[in-house]
């Protein structure tokens, strides 16, 4: 059994890795466990918001993220029925409020790797992978994680606190026994990547295209050697089989709806179908175990908020654990963490990601027009546009979260 003078983090995704780095930098020994031998190069989060970049700067991560990523200051809403641009929102309005008034588009696994490279240079950071954490438990003074290695052997690690950064199906959340209220969207989402360049068609690097049946989100990520890859998110109808939705024919039909020209000319680099949920844990803490990231809340990807809010959970929590490590009473601080991060996850991330999705796929013609007109009006009014951009970039969420006592 290992020494208990450390914090255990279950999950070395973006949230676990960055949280572990920040704890080690603050002088707290940390062990991160993950079942994957290396970060998965799947097509998940691609968007780093200004509020996250501001928080990354003191960790020394931002320069490398800017070097590898694509700077994307403007995002676009389109109406696919009328084939017109409805609104564009410019993050440069945040100059003076953020040192990074733009989004950086960068694949999630590259963000993890940048944080991991920094963390592995820290003597207090310990990474154990590939291992499956099969059980966690706690007593008044300690936490334990049972960890199964690839050869089947199980060892127990002990620490003072345990952070569940183990994703949407979190074992830690289940162990705390808290609820995970919310719902699952009825449609499946197909995320497709292509090397076809959409830039020539008046698209920005982030685009949301509204349509009652065939809405889509299109964005550019760096790909290999900065060659550029476009990621396209399409909804699948309930009566379309999984096999059909994953076929070239289905994907090429979706491309043809977005772009003029020959859809057969595009190389399909990747495709992945998944269901999407909107859920928030009933409590982000159970005794000595605390939740952060997808373990605490999940949402649809429209707006690029899930990973960002998770990273901000982790960095908020680090400040509190440092005070606790130095002798502060844990309960007031960890109860404040729960209030700050859970309430704002509901008010901002859940509300905004649901509203974004409902604007994209609104079926009622009058309501649809009203929602699109509303976007148009907000984009044209500098005060309303700034408010919109603050919400979209999680600047408002960060500020409100910090203000909650």
Ligand X SMILES: Cc1cc2nc3c(=O)[nH]c(=O)nc-3n(C[C@H](O)[C@H](O)[C@H](O)COP(=O)(O)OP(=O)(O)OC[C@H]3O[C@@H](n4cnc5c(N)ncnc54)[C@H](O)[C@@H]3O)c2cc1C
Binding residues for ligand X, per CB under 6 A?
10-16, 33-36, 43-47, 108, 132-133, 165-167, 171, 191, 274, 293-294, 301, 304-308, 310
Residue 80 C-beta: closest distance to ligand X, Å: 20
**What DSSP state is assigned to residue 107?**
-
With contact defined as beta carbons under 8 Å apart, do 237 and 187 qualify?
A: yes
Distance of CA 334 to the CA centre of its chain: 22
The bridge status of strand 180-194 relative to strand 143-148 is unpaired
- Residue 54 backbone phi and psi in degrees, to 5: -60, -40
Enumerate residues 6+ apart whose C-beta is below 8 A from 61.
18, 114, 115, 118
Q: Are 45 and 301 in contact (CB under 8 A)?
A: yes
Nearest to 30 by CA among 149, 134, 160: 160
State the nearest-atom distance from the C-beta of 35 to ligand X, in Å.
Answer: 4
Q: How far apart are CB 369 and ligand X at their closest, in Å?
A: 28
Bridge-partner residues for 263, per DSSP?
A: none
CB nearer to ligand X: give 116 or 165.
165
Q: CB-wise, 28 or 133, nearer to ligand X? A: 133
**Preceding peptide of 336 cis, ω within 30°:** no
Closer residue to ligand X, CB minimum distance, 50 or 306: 306
User: Shortest gap between Cβ of 67 and ligand X (angstroms)?
Assistant: 20
Residue 133 Cβ, how far from ligand X at the closest point, in Å?
4
Nearer to ligand X, 192 or 368 (CB): 192
Identity of the residue, 24 or 191, whose beta carbon is nearer to ligand X in the bound complex: 191
Query: In whole angstroms, what is the distance from residue 14 CA to residue 16 CA?
Result: 6
Closest approach, Cβ 327 to ligand X, in A, equals 29
- Rounded CA-CA distance 259/218 in Å is 11
Asked if 106 and 68 touch (Cβ cutoff 8 Å), the reply is: yes
**Residue placing its CB nearer to ligand X in the complex, 13 or 69:** 13
Residue 43 is given by DSSP the state S
Return the number of the residue (218 or 368) whose C-beta is nearest ligand X.
218
Q: What is the nearest approach in angstroms of ligand X to the Cβ of residue 118?
A: 16
């Amino acid at each position: 059994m290992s020494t208990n003078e450390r914090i255990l983090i279950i999950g070395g995704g973006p949230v676990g890795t960055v949280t572990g780095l920040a704890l080690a930098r603050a002088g707290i020994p940390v062990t991160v466990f993950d079942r994957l031998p290396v970060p998965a190069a799947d097509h998940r989060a691609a968007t780093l918001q200004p509020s996250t970049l501001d928080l990354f700067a003191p960790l020394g991560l931002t320069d490398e993220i800017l070097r590898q990523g694509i700077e994307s200051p403007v995002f676009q809403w389109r109406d696919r029925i009328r084939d017109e641009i409805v609104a564009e929102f410019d993050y440069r309005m945040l100059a003076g409020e953020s040192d990074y008034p733009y989004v950086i588009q960068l694949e999630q696994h590259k963000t993890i790797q940048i944080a991991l490279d920094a963390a592995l240079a820290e003597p207090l950071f310990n990474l154990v992978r590939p291992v499956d954490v099969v059980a966690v438990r706690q007593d008044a003074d300690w936490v334990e994680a049972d960890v199964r290695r690839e050869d089947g052997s199980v060892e127990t690690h002990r620490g003072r606190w345990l952070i569940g950064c183990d994703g949407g199906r979190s074992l830690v959340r289940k162990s705390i026994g808290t609820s995970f209220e919310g719902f699952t969207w009825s449609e499946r989402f197909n995320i497709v990547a292509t090397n076809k360049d959409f830039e020539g068609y008046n698209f920005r690097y982030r685009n949301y295209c509204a349509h009652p049946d065939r809405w889509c989100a299109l964005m550019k990520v760096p790909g290999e050697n900065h060659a550029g890859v476009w990621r396209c998110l399409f909804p699948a109808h309930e009566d379309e089989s999984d096999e059909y939705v994953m076929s070239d024919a289905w994907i090429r039909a979706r491309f043809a709806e977005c772009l003029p020209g020959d859809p057969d000319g595009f190389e399909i680099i990747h495709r992945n179908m998944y269901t999407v949920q909107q859920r928030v844990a009933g409590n982000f803490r159970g005794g000595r175990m605390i939740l952060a990231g997808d373990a605490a809340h999940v949402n649809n990807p429209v707006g690029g908020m899930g990973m960002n809010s998770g990273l901000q959970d982790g960095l908020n929590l680090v400040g509190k654990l440092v005070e606790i490590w130095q002798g502060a009473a844990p309960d007031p601080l960890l109860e404040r963490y729960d209030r700050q991060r859970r309430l704002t996850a509901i008010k901002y991330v859940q509300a905004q990601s649901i509203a974004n999705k409902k604007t994209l796929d609104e079926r009622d013609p009058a309501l649809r027009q009203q929602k699109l007109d509303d976007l148009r009006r907000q984009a044209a009014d500098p005060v309303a546009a700034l408010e919109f951009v603050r919400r979209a970039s999680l600047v408002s969420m960060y500020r409100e979260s910090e203000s909650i006592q």
